[in-house]
Amino acid sequence: MTLLSGVLVWAGLVTGLAAASAALYGRYRTLPAFLTGPAVCKLDEANGCQVLFRTRYAALLGVPNSAIGLVFYLLVAVGWVTGRPVQLLMAGASAACAMSIYLAYVLIRDRLDCRICWTGHAANVAIWIGLGLRLL
């Protein structure tokens, strides 16, 4: 379980950092088309999925979700490496998972397809499962 736990946590951290970085960049600038352009995502002819990074759902109290995600992934990585209590890391991962569940619901409800968003949500779930396995 320890190896699987570590793989899930690190894979989630790396994937989550990449997704959050792309989403934060897409909030303020135009992402390359191969990431989320109109050829990949049909939401908006000019900008693809990055229009989602600028909606009211893309921020919590004015702070972009992607920025919160970057801080979360960095804190979990530091906590994991320095041996912080898994229960503490799990509390943060549970909050991230709860946010992901809500945002995934919004994506499904509104029939939106955002690969970067789904990647970040999957990363949060992987981290949560990995930390949960460590608690067993």
Q: What is the pLDDT of residues 51-95, one digit of tens each?
A: 778 888 888 988 999 999 999 999 999 999 999 999 999 999 999
The pTM of the full predicted model, rounded to 2 decimals, is: 0.88
Look at the chain and report how many structural domains it folds into.
1
pLDDT at 19 over 80: yes
CB-CB contact of 124 with 11 (8 Å): no
Residue 104 sits in a domain of what CATH number?
A: 1.20.1440.130
Q: Which domain holds residue 65?
A: 2-135
